[in-house]
Structures are given as C-alpha cells and as structure tokens.
Amino acid sequence: MSQPTQEDELLAQQALAEAAATHGGGEVTSGLSQGQIVRKRFFGHTGALIGLAVFAVIFLLAFTSVGAFGIPGWWKYTHVDVSPLVNDGAPTSSLWPFAWGEHPFGQDRIGRDLFAMTMRGAQQSITVMLLIGGIAGAIGAIVGGLAGYFRGWVEAVLMRLTDVIIIIPLLLLAAVVGQIANRRDEGSWLNGFAANNGVVILGIFLGFVSWVGLARLVRGEFLTLREREFVDAARISGASNARIIFKHILPNAVGVLIVNVTLTMSAAILLETALSYLGLGVKAPDTSLGLLVAQNQEAFATRPWLFWFPGLFIILICLSINFIGDGLRDAFDPRQKKFRAKSAVETAKHSSTTTAPVADTPKGS
Amino acid sequence: MVTYIVRRLITAAFILLGASFLVYLLTALSGDPLEELRTSSAPNRQALMDARINLLDLDTPAPLRYFKWLGGAAQCLVPLGNACNLGKNIAGQPITEALGFALVQTLTLVTGATILAILIGISLGIVTALRQYSALDYGVTFMAFLFFSLPIFWVAVLLKEFGAIGFNDFLRNPEIPPAVALGIGAVLGLIGAVVVGGEVKRRLIVGGSVFAAVSLVLFYFSLTQWFRNPGLGPVLIAIMGAGIAFGITILVSGLKNRKALQSSLIVVGIGVIAYFAVQPLLSDATGLMIFLLAIATILVGVAVGYFMGGYDRGQSMRAAGLTAFLVGALVVVDRFMQAWPSYFNNSRVRGRPIATIGAGTPNIQGDFWIMSTDTLTHLVLPTIALILVSLASYTRFTRSSMLEIMNMDYIRTARAKGLSERSVIMGHAFRNALIPIATIVAFDIGALIGGAVITETVFSVRGMGFLFIDGLLHTDPNPVMGVFLCVAITAMVFNLIADLAYSALDPRVRIKA
C-alpha cells in the first residue's frame, strides 16, 4: 500500500466507477463504466487475447467437427468409426504444402481416426471444465456470499462445512466423486440419464467438490464490502438484504469471482484429464483427452502420434485458459500488476544510472 | 498463544471427524465391493462373497460401519498403547502395516523433488524479479505458464521415453557427435547470455565462454567415455570447490569481506585433503555415517570461519560452513561416480541404469553405494517430473513477493544509505520476501503426501496414492480412510505451523489468543 502509483490508479478507478454510477457519465471523467475499464484493460493484454483466440478456435473445432448434442459435424469420421489403415496409421496432414489428408492426426491400431477421437475428447474435457467452473462458481458465490453477508450462525455453519471439504485433497476427493459418478447400478434413478450423458454427471459431481476455495475468497470479499459506506447508505434507505447483495455487493465482488473461476477451470481441465488417466473419470467407450493419453502411452515407441496430439490439446486448452485468467486478473485487479511496464522500465533506467557504481558489484545470483 | 493452539487443535479434531465421516460414506457409496465376485464364474462364488461380506462387514450399513471404524481408530490416540486398529484391507492386510510401507515409499519419492523444486523455484523467482521485463523474465514467465499447464502423466511418459530409454541407449555407446556437442553448447551459451543480462558486450562474452566451455567438456566426455566411467577426482573437486567458495561468499558476505573468502577457500583446501583421508572410510559407508560426516563437515567449516574471524565473524562462519557442506557433497558425488561402473555392470541392471518404473531393482545385491545408486536411478524421472510441475508456482509466487518488497520504502532507504546491492537484495529484500513464501512452503509440505497420486501411478511406486486408488477401485474404505487420515492430519498440522510461522516471522501479524 506504499506505492503512490497504485493508490492513484485505484482511486482514479474508483472515482471513475462512482462517477459513472452516480452521474451516468461525468463531466471531467470520460464516463467509462467499470465494465468498460475492465474490458479495455483486458483487450490490452496480448497474452490474454492470444489465449482467447486459441481457446475459441479449439472450442469451435472440437464442437463442430465431430458434432455435438446430436447434431452431426462436418468431419467424415466419428470417434468410434473404424476404417482401413491408411499409411499404417501415420498422420497424413502436412504443413507444407498444407494438406489435411485422409487422417490428419493418424489412426490407432484398429483404424479409428485420431482427429475425431481427439476432437471428441476435447469436447468432453471442455464440457467438464465449463461445468466445474459454472457449478463451483455458483456454489462458491452463494456459500461465500451468504457467510460473508449474514455472519453469525450462517457463517459458522457454512464455513465449518467448507473447512471439512477443504481438508480433503481435491484430487483424492475428486477421485471418490468420479467413482460415484461412474456408478451404474441397475434401476438407479440416475442411470437412464447418465448412460447417455456420463460426462455431464462427472462434471456436475466434480463441480460439487471444487467450490470451497472460491467460497473462502468470496466470503473475504463480502466481509470487506459489507462494511463500506455505500452498503450502509443502501441499508439506511431501506433496501432489502437481497437487493444489497445482488445490486450493491455482488457487482463489486464479481472480479474476484470471475478471475478465480477461470483459474479453477484451468485446474479443472488438468483434474479431469488426470482422473480419466487414472480410470476414475470418463470411461471407454466414450473418450476424453486424459483417457486417450492413458490408452496410448504404451504405443509411444510404435505410434507416437497417438500420444502427442491429445497431450498437445490438453496443454493448449489449459495454457490458453491460464492466459485468459492472467489477463482477467490484471484487468479486474490492478493491484496484482505491480506497476505498468513503461513506467517500470523508465524507473529501472533511472535507478540504474543513479546507482551505477553500486550496481556494478555482483548482484548475488 | 497456547490457548490459540489448543483452540485450533480442538477445531481441527471436529473438522477431521466431519471430513472422515464424509470420505467414509462417499467411498462406501462409490461402488459395489462384490461386483467382481458377482460376475465371476468360480464354483465357490457364494463362499467367496460371504467371506468378503464378513471381512468388510457389509451387513452393517455404512454410517454404522464408520463408527465401528472410528472406535478402532480412536485407539491410536492412546499414547504408547499398541492397539492402533485402522481395520484391514480387502486382502486381509492390516492398514497400519500397509500405511507404514506406503508412507516410506511416498516420502522417498517426494522429499527430494520438493526440496529441489523449492530451491530452484525461489532462485528463479528472485532472478526474474530482479530482471523484470527482460528477455529472461518473459522467458521464465512463459515457461511457468507452460509448466502450470503440463499434465504430469504426459510429462512422465515423455521422460520415460527420452530420459530413460533414450539415455540408456546412449550409454551403450556414450559418444556425443561433434554437431550435437556444439548444439548443446550453443543452447546453454544462449541461456547464459540471457541470464547474465546487462550490456551486449558482457552478454556476448559470457555466452561465448559458456558455449566454448560446455562444448569442450562434452568433447572431453565423449573422448574419455566419461558417462561410462564418471568421476570428479581431487583436481576437479578443487576447481569446483573454489568456484563454490567464491559463489557462496558473494551471496553471504560479498567479496569485500576478505576473511570470509579466505575461510571458504581454506575449507576447500581441507576438503581436498579430506578427500584422500575419507576414501577408505567411505568404502564401507552407511547412511548414518554419511549423515554424521555431513554434520562434522559443517562443524569444521563453521570452526574455520570462527577462527578466521574478520569484522563480521558470523558471515565468515556461515560462508565457510555452507562451502564445507557443498564440498563434502562433491566428495560424496565423486564416491557415487566411483560406484557407477560396478552398478552399471551389475547382473540385475545389465547396462540400463535409468529405470522407468518401481522404487528399486528387484533382488539387487551390493554395498551401500550400489543400493543408494539404485534408489537414485529410480528416483531421477519422478523427481524431474514433480519438479517440472511444481516449479512454476514457486517461481511466480517468489517473483511477485519479491517485486512487492523491492518497491517498499525501506529498500529505498537501504539503497540511499549506501548499502551494496548484494546486501539490499539478500539482507533486506529476500528475507522479507521469504515470509509469505515460508507459509506457502508449509502448506505445500502439508499437501505433499497426498499430492503425488498420479506420479506414483505412472511410475508404479506403491505409495500412499497407490493405496488410495487401489482401495477406491475395490470400494474398500479402510485403506482410503488410512491414507485420508495421514494426509489430513499432516495438512492440518502444517496449516497450523504456517500460521504460527507467519506470526513469528512477521511482527505485524499477531495471533489473537
């Protein structure tokens, strides 16, 4: 809190937001709303933009190529189709001259098309990721918000519940829950739905155990916000609890929520692939990126492409989500970004000229 | 303080009760322990099913079974009472016994990896913070993001393929083609040039010399088949020791403190002489002996520093002690290298030393050095994999913590009063940056035991993760609960330690009793 630049930026941002809220676009300020400021900062973040673009491409590719929700895709094979081996299953795509070929990512031993399998796997992994993000975000916001706003026994009960869940390592808990999600008893009420949408059930179940970290963060945010003057003002003017929560506190806490939901999702994709790899997540005959890696790791010496492509997609999805999350954090919370690059470079130049004799001595690294 | 700890412990006990109930119920719900028997065609199917129902007590509903289990587990709390009963697993083995074995396996696997990841991660974080917005910073930041996103099971397969199978093939005929040697030299030289920073001329000099040195060393290794018969010898130990002495002195006291430098160099001299003295002793070494020797080495170093004195005796002692420890480590490494050929030609190893799975070669015989080498060759790959995936968070965290500190007013004060950059960074900035890092390290150590599930599976180490997953796949709650208890108790203890450490390190944070 000692850096004047940060403070200034924060104050300026608050002033902007407040001005925008009260005057609907002030005279001195340019009238940017908080959303506009955030959007502007986010779109100024190169890494986040690249991440967004990569994720969008993968998303479209995965969901249109092999089809989803019963709609057929444009790719000629599906993940279960068996066709004769072309070129002993080696990838037929080439970068120069650019060509897709019959099986761009190759085929496995029995002739299934790896492109179709990878796309199906990416689809499943992305579905699970989004479900985990959505459900964990919703539960985390509700639990954290209620605990932070109402305090008292509500907080005690909810936070002890959070403590109970948070003490179980996520991977272990997820493994147990994944196993439950995969349980297929005859006559179980879930069974009919789960038989077709196993991955949805898995995502929902994993979402139910991933919210604890979010709940703690949201509670912390609510605890600080509920003491602020604008909440007092709203309360004095007779606003109901629901109105204060949804209209006054939640919009201010949404930054923390969105950023951490994104980071939860990047962890979620690794969680899902790891579970599927261990045989506790998505199970054959359906497929997921982790399952593909697990099934094909033994074939690394003979058919390395079976191993490369699914792994590459896991990394690409996770990396792009991480970059988006980083961009969102910088956009929502300028405190996290220590100082702007330009001024930092200037300061560094400045200090290096003034402290040159000292800086010449080894820095100890 | 005491009230605070007691209150925390009581809360922890209740949380543990709730969490264990939850885990027990979920595990019992997660499947049907009789499923494999139901589908089997064994003639004595019914008898097998009855036996299992009896063993797992399946006639009792799960919530009641939990309280039975709890009754057994509660006996573990009786001090000195040998009645600890965590039940038996599906094969009839007592859980306490299985846990003991698995715990040792897991700890061997994760300890080295965690220490290395913390050391490397923190140093990378400091360097990137000091060179913010340089090519190095951007490179490391990107790598950190990449490592964050790496699925460990994927990395592990790659490591098995290239680190183990590839390296073992290479060892069959350890000749490095000149082009490859030059290529490796060029890459390392480039990294050197990026790391060193500063003027273009300085970068070129450093990069060029790294390139030349690495290429020459690789040529030399290739010519002498060093990888088959590795060794350091007293000369190399002396040269490397001198380098270590300078490096440590720069970090601890700065080269201006001549007494510290001299004591470090004296320690290196003693180390080279001791190298000859301890060789016969090392031939029949044991783990305990190595440990005692390490302590003795540090004490010798500290003593040298003490007698050399100087204007700051503490600095000399620290520098000499650290140097002594590292030179001692070099001597041990050299002894390992001497044992390498006999390990390599061992009938069990048959010239393929780096193992891809397991925690040891079955039925291997040999002295301390052979056995330790065997453990180490099995640890190499999982350790690298674990370091890669856990490095990133330490780097990012240290970097941001360090950047925050470097902007503080007291750093400006320290610079203004004319302190050297070294003491500003090591003495003022780094120490304070360590406060938040210490807590995150404590958290991570708490999460260690349960954190290596996937690594254990990939490398077929029968540790805690294996016990857990195996129990889960058989819907056998007892091993699952055993692992959970260990993991949860360590996590809680280390969370408490993290909080206490924070208040001890940072006087601004006080615990409310």
Name the range with the highest mean pLDDT among A43-47, A193-197, A283-287, B348-352.
A43-47
**Interchain proximity B422–A344, CB inside 8 Å:** no
Other residues' Cβ atoms within 10 Å of the Cβ of residue B447: 18
A326 pLDDT band, cuts 50/70/90, is confident
Chain A residues touching B453 at Cβ < 8 A = 171-172, 175, 278
ipTM strictly over 0.85? no
Helical axes A152-166 vs A212-225, angle rounded to 10°: 150
In angstroms, the CA A130 to CA B376 distance is 41
- pLDDT at residue A361 above 50? no
Mutate to test the interface with B, among A2, A165, A179, A360 (most CBs of B within 10 A): A179
Q: Which of chain A's residues have a Cβ under 8 Å away from the Cβ of B418?
A: 358
- CA-based nearest distance A66→chain B, Å: 25
Query: Under an 8 A CB cutoff, do A270 and B149 touch?
Result: yes
Measured between CB atoms, does A160 come within 8 Å of chain B? yes
Give residue A364's pLDDT band: very low, low, confident or very high (50, 70, 90).
Answer: very low
pLDDT tens readout for residues A211-260? 988 999 999 999 989 889 999 999 999 999 999 998 899 888 888 898 88
Q: Are B468 and B480 contacting, i.e. CB atoms less than 8 angstroms apart? A: yes
- Give me the residue from A311, A322, A326 closest to B154, CB to CB: A311
The neighbouring-strand residues paired with B88 are B94
CB contact under 8 A, A172 and B468: yes
CB B491 within 8 A of CB B446: yes
Q: State how far residue B170 is from chain A, nearest Cα, in angstroms.
A: 16
Q: How many helical (H) and strand (E) elements, i.e. helices and strands, does chain A have?
A: 16, 0
How close B218 gets to chain A, by Cα (Å)?
A: 25
Q: Is B9 touching A (CB cutoff 8 A)? A: no
- Select, from the ranges A300-304, A358-362, B135-139, B293-297, the one with the highest average predicted confidence (pLDDT): B293-297
**B26 vs A contacts (CB less than 8 Å):** 173, 176-177, 180
Mutate to test the interface with B, among A166, A278, A306 (most CBs of B within 10 A): A278
Instruction: Assess contact for B204 and B193: CB atoms under 8 A.
Output: yes
pLDDT at residue A359 in the model = 36
Token pair in block for residue B423: 């003491």
Between CA B82 and CA B99 the distance in angstroms is 16
Token match 């155990």: residue? A209
d(CA B150, CA A270): 8
Residues 6 or more apart in contact with residue A281 via CB below 8 angstroms: A128, A178, A182, A202, A272, A273, A274, A275, A288, A290, A291
Looking at residue B266, what is its pLDDT? 92
Task: Please indicate if any CB of chain A lies within 8 Å of the CB of B491.
Answer: yes
Please name the residues between 1 and 30 in chain A that touch chain B, using a CB distance below 8 Å. Answer: 2-3
Residues in chain B with CB shorter than 8 Å from the CB of A280 are 469, 472-473
User: Does residue A330 sit at the B interface (CB-CB below 8 Å)?
Assistant: no
Profile chain B (513 residues) by mean pLDDT over runs of 10 residues: 87 89 85 73 77 75 83 75 71 81 87 90 90 86 88 87 85 83 90 82 90 89 83 87 91 86 92 89 84 92 87 87 93 89 81 78 81 87 88 89 88 91 88 84 77 83 86 84 87 85 78 57
Judging contacts by C-beta atoms under 8 Å, the chain A residues touching residue B31 are 179-180, 183
Element (H, E) at B104: helix B95-130
- pLDDT value of residue A331: 85
Closest CA to B155 of B470, B496, B455: B455
Q: Is A170 on the interface with B (CB under 8 A)?
A: no
- How many residues are present in chain B? 513
